[in-house]
Amino acid sequence: GLSGGRPPRDDKFARVTQEDVQYFREALGAGGRLVTDREGLQAFNRDWLGNFEGATSVAVCPTSTQQVSKVLSYCNERCLAVVPQGGNTGLVGGSVPVHDEVVLSTSAMDNIISFDEVSGILNCQSGCILQALDTYLAERGHTMPLDLGAKGSCQIGGNVSTNAGGVRLLRYGSLHGSVLGLEVVLANGEVLDLWQSLRKDNTGYDLKQLFIGAEGTLGIVTGMSLLCPARPTSVQVSFLSCKSFPDVLHIFRLAKQHLGEVLSAVEFLDRESLVTALEHMPGIRNPLPDGTSPFYMLVETSGSSETHDKNKVEEFLAEVMSAGLLVDGALAQDTSQASNMWRVREGVTEALVRRGKVYKYDVSLPLAEMYALVEEMRERLPGDSIRVVGYGHVGDGNLHLNISDARGKERQEVREAIEPFVYEWTRERRGSISAEHGLGLMKAECIRYSKPEAAVRIMGAVKKMLDPKGILNPYKVLPRDVVHEGC
C-alpha cells in the first residue's frame, strides 16, 4: 500500500530482547496483557485494510497510565521504537509497526471514569470503544460528539490521535473543540497532565491541541475529558437521488437553508459507491427503487421535537422537488429504515475491501470542483476490473476517492496513474491530501503537498522537543528529511 516502498529500518533502534520482554511483564503486573506468540501478534501487525504489515515480536497492553509511563520510560532508555495502537481501524498505515517496533495497545484501558449530566462532560480512558461510550451516554440522555463507521472497534484515544471527523462533524464540530482535557504520556515516560474539564481556559498555549491529530508521534494519550451534547430525541433520515453533482451542492444549500439548526449530516455517494455497497454487503437494501441515478445523498436532522423536525424535512423535500432537483427520495419511516440508509453509506468502505484491492484517498477540496477529481480519475483509469468511486462528507468539503481493482493485487501501473496526480490536483486547488484519516505511513512523504516548508520545519522541531530520541511511531506523519537523528 505504499508507492515508494517501505522505508528502511532505522538501525539506531535497539531490537527487543528476552530481558525487555521480562521487564514489560513485570511492569504490567497482573492486570495487563502481553502478547508474544506469532498467532496472537498477527492482529497487531496487520492493518484493517490489509495494506500494511509489520513484524513486531511484542504487544504490550497496559491497564493504567502508570504502566504506560513505565513502559515508555524503559523504551526511551533502551531506544526501542514504539507504535501506539488503539482499535487498529486507521486507514493510512499509522497504527501498525513498519518493522519490529513494540506495539503499545490501549485496548485494556477502557474505564469510564465519570460523567456529569449537567455539564455533559465525560472522563474516560483512551481505550474505550466509541460505540460503548455512546451506549453509556445514551442511557444518560447524551451522545458522543462524533460518529463513524468504525465505531464498533475504534477507540476514543485513536479517534483523538487521528482527529477523526466522521458523519456528525457538520453538527458538533471537530475534536479540537470537543476535547476539553487530555492526559498524555510523553516519550520519556513523563505524564503530562492537561486533563481539565473546563469550557474556557486561556492560560498560555493550548498544548492539548498538539496531541489531537498527532497520530501517536508526540505522546500516548491515556485519558481525556470530552464535551458531549444532549441526545437528540427526534432523528429524521432521508435518502435522495439526483442527476448531477451541481444538484448535490444545490440540495446541500437548501438543506442548510431549510433545516438550519437541526441539520446533523449531509453525505453523498455516487452510483458506483452505491452499487459497490449493494453488491458486497449482504443485508443492505437500496433505500430507493432508483439505482441508476448518478448521485445519492443522505440528509439527517437531529432535534428534540418530532413534529417540528418532520415538518421541516417535508418542507425541505418539497422545495428540493419543486426546484426540479430530485429524481427520487425517501424519508425513513422507522429506525430500521433509517439504519439501513446509514448502512448503505457507511458500508462502502468495507464493500470496497471485499471487492478487491483498494487505493484510498481522502481529500478536502473546494466544493465546486470536488467531483471533477473523480471524473478525471475515471478517464485516467479505464479497464474492466477498475471502479473509481467517490463519496463522503460533502457537507464538510471532504471527498473519499477510492479506486477499486477487482484484480486484487497492488499494480504499479495503477498506482502510477493515480499518484502523484491526485496530490498535485489537490495542491493546485489548495486542498488537503488528508482531510480526516491522517498521514500515517502512507502519506508521510507527501505532507508538503498541503503544508508549507516553514510548517513542516516547525513540526520537526516540535517532534524533536517532545520525543528527542524519536522512538514514538517512527516513519509516520513526518517526512524523513525533517526527522532528527535521536538516540
Q: Residue 485 corresponds to which cell in the numbers above?
A: 537523528
C-alpha cell recorded at residue 420: 502523484
CB 446 within 8 A of CB 462: no
Residue 83 touching ligand FAD (CB under 6 A): yes
Q: How far is the CB of 121 from ligand FAD (least distance, A)?
A: 20
Cα–Cα distances (Å) from 344 to 133, 248, 275, in that order, read 24, 17, 10
Q: Which stretch binds ligand FAD (CB under 6 A): 5-13, 34-42, 77-85, 364-372?
A: 77-85
Q: Which stretch binds ligand FAD (CB under 6 A): 81-89, 316-324, 401-409, 426-434?
A: 81-89
Write phi, then psi, for 220 (nearest 5 degrees).
-110, 120
β-bridge mates for residue 25, sequence order: none
468 binds ligand 2HG (CB under 6 A): no
Q: Which is nearer to ligand FAD, 50 or 260 (CB)?
A: 50
- 87 binds, options ligand FAD, ligand 2HG, none, Cβ within 5 to 8 A by partner type: ligand FAD
- Among 473, 474, 469, 472, CA closest to 485: 469
360 binds, among ligand 2HG, ligand FAD, none (CB under 5 to 8 A by kind): ligand 2HG
Q: Closest Cα partner for 33 from 113, 99, 127? A: 127
Out of 158, 223, 329, 390, which residue is the one contacting ligand FAD (CB under 6 A)? 158
Q: Which does 76 bind (CB under 5 to 8 A by kind): ligand 2HG, ligand FAD, none?
A: none
Each residue 371-410 as x (binds ligand 2HG by CB under 6 A) or -, in order, gives ---------------------x-------x-x--------
Of 106, 302, 402, 432, the residue at the interface with ligand FAD (CB under 6 A) is 106
Burial of 30 (0-12, 13-18, 19+ CB in 10 A): exposed
175 binds ligand FAD (CB under 6 A): no
**CB-nearer residue toward ligand 2HG: 231 or 400:** 400
Kindly state the cell numbers that stand for 411.
Answer: 499494480
356 binds ligand 2HG (CB under 6 A): no
SS (H, E, C) 164-203: CCCCCHHHHCCHHHHEEEEEEECCCCCEEEECCCCCCCCC
Contact between 214 and 187 under an 8 Å Cβ cutoff? The reply is no
**With CB cut-offs between 5 and 8 Å by kind, which of ligand FAD, ligand 2HG, none does residue 400 bind?**
ligand 2HG
Nearer to ligand FAD, 131 or 234 (CB): 131
Q: Cα–Cα distances in Å, from 402 out to 128, 282, 348, 360, 425?
A: 29, 21, 10, 5, 15
Sign of CA dihedral 126, 131, 136, 138: positive
Q: Which of residues 229-268 bind ligand FAD (CB under 6 A)?
A: none
Answer for which of 150, 226, 227, 442 binds ligand FAD (CB under 6 A) is 150
Among 63, 161, 241, 349, binds ligand 2HG (CB under 6 A): 349
Q: Count residues contacting ligand FAD (CB under 6 A)? A: 37
d(CA 55, CA 44): 9
Please select the residue that binds ligand FAD; options are 148, 179, 237, 266, rule is CB under 6 A: 148
Report whether 206 contacts 198 (CB < 8 A).
Answer: no
Contacts with ligand FAD, 391-430, as mask; x by CB under 6 A: ----------------------------------------
| Selected binder of ligand 2HG within 7, 149, 189, 294 (CB under 6 A) | 149
* Residue 59 contacts residue 34 (beta carbons within 8 Å): yes
> For the CA atoms of 151, 352, 362, 267, what is the dihedral angle to 10 degrees?
-70
Q: Does 360 bind ligand 2HG (CB under 6 A)?
A: yes
**Rounded distance between C-alpha atoms, residue 301 and residue 263, angstroms:** 4
Residues that bind ligand 2HG (CB under 6 A): 149, 346, 349, 360, 362, 392, 400, 402
Residues that bind ligand FAD (CB under 6 A): 48, 83-91, 94-95, 106, 126, 148-150, 154-155, 157-159, 161-162, 164-166, 215-216, 220-221, 349-350, 436-437, 440, 473
